[in-house]
Structure 1
């Protein structure tokens, strides 16, 4: 996963954007020794930007593999389509992205041997939430649950029935759950000149949203609103800033209660793995 901070000087007709990301393991996963099953990736090239956060299926024993691969593959497929001048609002573009992502996953699954259904369910089930910018157009898209904030507009994606979101890799199966392979959804398509800030989150970001008025573990103030991430210059000045802020929100603090001769433990606030990508128009481009 990327830990870079990108400064894009040629996106949106010369209007630069800054972008940063980070991820932390949820307390539920830490409690049972499970790894972080989220991942993220972003890349800019030729006036185009693609950014994606992915969440591996919680019941998949190794779904962090699919999330990490998916974040990179979807990002590259989106970026490739944008470089070719594809219309980001067109269903044909997103079908191209879907099939282009499935092709290498299919090759890997076939090379791993055993039952295709078992390989897919163990390794390759992940959701995707993303942002694409090409020239004068931008769009927010997803396949599965999560969170998108476009300025003051908040899009909660999910929950889905029985807490079972659609997964892109179901398209590898002859009989996908529900009968049809899931497709990408474009939630908003708009002029890139209108984009000031954006935040992409896996579904763990919903815990972050609900914790905005709570105190940080161990003190130090409130968690604060999501806007804190894009309003704070440190988010974009340090490639580890997003992860550090999430880790502060999710740390466990143990302190002595001397009069009662015991230790008091205060746990983190993010039960699920939580991953964010934050985008804003750079200071030099704001008028």
Structure 2
């Protein structure tokens, strides 16, 4: 539970799983997530490393923690969740340590950035009685029953925060954060953040999981208490949906393999108002 102080609290759960395409290619999960509540504020972020970056899982893991920390810092210093100045402060604050690391790694800066530090960001920020959903890149935000599909972008090339490290970023200008919705924090009942792989969860909920059962509606993640009681429950559910099954076809004397349903790395964070705060 993320205690915000003042009697307001939210329950937060998250999980990530490697997509079947990455498994088949022997590549690691390039997604990451982080969330933290502090000083009456909460920040939650999912990040998706660029698929063409050989080691972009490094940037995603760093980025999730850096952006979360910068959001909390900006809010604690009095930044408004819907102010462009706040998000410029977050952007610059997250880029500063990335710039130090990229420079210290030596070689071509553009090569280091493209190999290690390209990742998208989808997040939630809460400060007292105000909240917002934001992003820099593609993904999914579900605010109650409202679904925001972020992307796709032209040529399947989303903007990346780390383009701000380059003297000549693609498109000519360093990408900025976008605030998609700003609303009173009291309006939050349920909210889900997802990387673009989570869009596969929006396919018909009656789809059969190879390992058994139905995928079920997205609302399962915030309606089922077990996802908030067990910190590994979200990951386990995603892993079940993505589990491959091999079955014998006796008449043809062969084995048939049915792959998991999540082709891309998939990461979600689920936020809901705690029961004590709802009563």
**1:123-174 Cα distance to aligned partner (Å, 9 max, x none):** 0000000001110001000000000000001000000000000000000000
- For 1:55-204, list aligned pairs within 5 A: 55-204=48-197
Contact 2:4 2:37 in 1 (8 A): no
- Report the TM-score when normalising by structure 2: 0.98
Residue of structure 1 equivalent to 2:218: 226
My pick for the range that moved more, 234-243 or 252-261, is 252-261
Indicate the SS of the match to 2:87.
helix
Distance across 1 between alignment mates of 2:263 and 2:205: 14
- Cα deviations by residue, 1:167-226 (Å, 9 ceiling, x for unpaired): 00000000000000000000011000000000000000011212523111132x210111
Matched residue, 1:8:
2
Task: Give the Cα–Cα distance (whole angstroms) in 1 for the partners of residues 204 and 101 of structure 2.
Answer: 39
Give me the whole-angstrom Cα distance separating, in 2, the residues matched to 1:169 and 1:218.
39
The alignment yields a C-alpha RMSD, in angstroms, of: 0.9
Distance between the aligned counterparts of 1:274 and 1:9, measured in 2?
27
The yes-or-no answer on 1:274 pairing with 2:266 is yes
Q: Of the candidates 240, 244, 266, which is equivalent to residue 236 of structure 2?
A: 244
Residues 4 and 42 of structure 2 are in contact (CA less than 8 Å); yes or no, is this contact kept in structure 1? no
Task: Calculate the TM-score normalised by the size of structure 1.
Answer: 0.95
| Range with bigger deviation, 261-270 or 61-70 | 261-270
Q: Tell me which stretches of 4 or more aligned residues in structure 1 moved more than 4 Å.
A: none
Higher mean alpha-carbon deviation, 259-268 vs 197-206, is at 259-268
Partners of 1:285 and 1:47 in 2: CA distance: 15
Q: Please, which runs of 5 or more residues in structure 1 have no aligned partner? A: 1-6
Contact 1:218 1:266 in 2 (8 A): no
Equivalent position of 1:48 in the other structure: 41
Separation of aligned partners in 2, 1:66 and 1:153: 30
Structure 2: give runs of 5+ residues left out of the alignment: none
Aligned-partner Cα distance in 1 for 2:102–2:167: 14
Contact 2:211–2:240, Cα closer than 8 Å, also in 1: no
Q: Is the 8 A contact 1:211 1:269 kept in 2?
A: no
